[in-house]
A = this chain, B = another copy of it.
Amino acid sequence: MNSEPDWDLYRSFAAVLREGSLSGAARSLGLTQPSVARHVDALEAAIGTTLFLRTQRGLSPTDAALRLKPHVEALVATSAALLRAAADHAGQVRGTVRISASEVVGVEHLPPILAELRRRHPALGIELVLSNSIDDLLGRQADIAIRMVEPVQQALVTRKVGAVEVGLHARRDYLDRCGVPETMEALAGYDLIGFDAETPAIRAMAGRYPMLRRRLFALCADSDLAQLAAIRAGFGIGFCQVQVARRSPELVRVLEHDCAIELGLWIVMHEDLRASASCRAAFDALAAGLGAIARG
């Protein structure tokens, strides 16, 4: 435990964590199994900790290895971001841009925007990371993120492109069958579709509409796509963006005047990427496309 380990050891360590075995890691890295084994040994010697328990069925990480896991994953993500940036030659729009968005935005809003972006820049590859829970810019897992909360960090380039309105919706035949709720309190008698996890947006919503307690929900799903699908399937009443619901003629908004949540829509990018022509092009395309959606 003296000098800094070679960074290559980290890469092998990450591969072993990811693949679960020396052989698998070697395959994924294009190395041979003994090489990866020596890397792991060297890293363990360097930091003075056992990282894996060797079994005949693979290597199982120790607690110490699990503690280090987020860090090497950050290294992996950062080196990937570096390679993306390196592919961005001299102001040309080419290479690959990674975009992070919530599932429903990625599925409902982005496809036409990205198609248009691709048509204008045929050499630009696009990677889409859909997740509702992860802060993708923190670990450089994405170059550009679409957010529903205002970013406060200075190291980020942000642009507010408008707002989306979230309201309660249900399928028409469900309302025909069960009736249309007239008050928020009456919702307790319906099949409500709601969230499971805690995110800032959900906490804010729960604060505004205390009658929507979690145990009232007939179906809890973290995935907003699953919620949307449940609404479309006629399961019951749930939240969804009015811009999305408007496209489905069978969906009807309920309690429009009692329950309306306006969520801002921000596009966020690392300040470092401002010089990248590819990221700027994607950023501007997202701003234009999402702005048009927000305006209706």
- Residues 1-38 of A at the B interface (beta carbon under 8 Å): 1, 3-4, 6-8, 10-11, 30
Instruction: Out of B47, B137, B138, B199, name the residue touching A83 (CB < 8 Å).
Output: B47
B88 touches A67 (CB 8 A): yes
This protein's copies in its complex: 2
Residues of B near A3 (CB, < 8 A) are 30
Of A68-76, A121-129, A165-173, which binds chain B? A68-76
User: Is A218 positioned at the interface, with any CB of B under 8 Å from its CB?
Assistant: no
A74 touches B85 (CB 8 A): no
B140 touches A155 (CB 8 A): no
B86 touches A49 (CB 8 A): yes
Q: How far is the CA of A64 from the CA of B72 in the complex (A)?
A: 25
Of A53-61, A146-154, A224-232, which binds chain B? A146-154
Q: How far is the CA of A83 from the CA of B74 in the complex (A)?
A: 13
User: Is A81 positioned at the interface, with any CB of B under 8 Å from its CB?
Assistant: yes
A74-B140, A154-B135 as given contacts; A7 in contact with B79, CB under 8 Å: yes
User: Is A223 positioned at the interface, with any CB of B under 8 Å from its CB?
Assistant: no
User: Is A183 positioned at the interface, with any CB of B under 8 Å from its CB?
Assistant: no
Residues of B near A135 (CB, < 8 A) are 153-156
Q: How far is the CA of A275 from the CA of B71 in the complex (A)?
A: 13
A72 touches B82 (CB 8 A): yes
Q: How far is the CA of A199 from the CA of B63 in the complex (A)?
A: 40
> For residue A1, which residue of chain B has the nearest CB?
B87
A153 touches B140 (CB 8 A): no
A71 touches B67 (CB 8 A): no
A199 touches B154 (CB 8 A): yes
Residues of B near A83 (CB, < 8 A) are 4, 47
Minimal beta-carbon separation of A148 from chain B (angstroms): 10
B138 touches A82 (CB 8 A): no
User: Is A221 positioned at the interface, with any CB of B under 8 Å from its CB?
Assistant: no
User: Is A208 positioned at the interface, with any CB of B under 8 Å from its CB?
Assistant: no
User: Is A276 positioned at the interface, with any CB of B under 8 Å from its CB?
Assistant: yes
Contact with B along A134-164 (1 / 0, CB 8 A): 1101111000000001111111100000000
B75 touches A71 (CB 8 A): no
Please name 20 further chain A to chain B contacts, defined as beta carbons within 8 Å, in addition to the given A7-B75, A75-B75, A150-B152, sorted by A numbering. A4-B79, A7-B79, A8-B8, A10-B79, A47-B83, A47-B87, A63-B90, A64-B89, A67-B88, A70-B270, A70-B272, A71-B79, A71-B272, A74-B78, A74-B140, A134-B155, A135-B154, A135-B155, A135-B156, A152-B152
Q: List 12 A-B contacts (CB under 8 A).
A: A3-B30, A4-B79, A49-B89, A63-B90, A64-B89, A68-B85, A71-B81, A71-B85, A75-B82, A135-B156, A138-B153, A152-B152
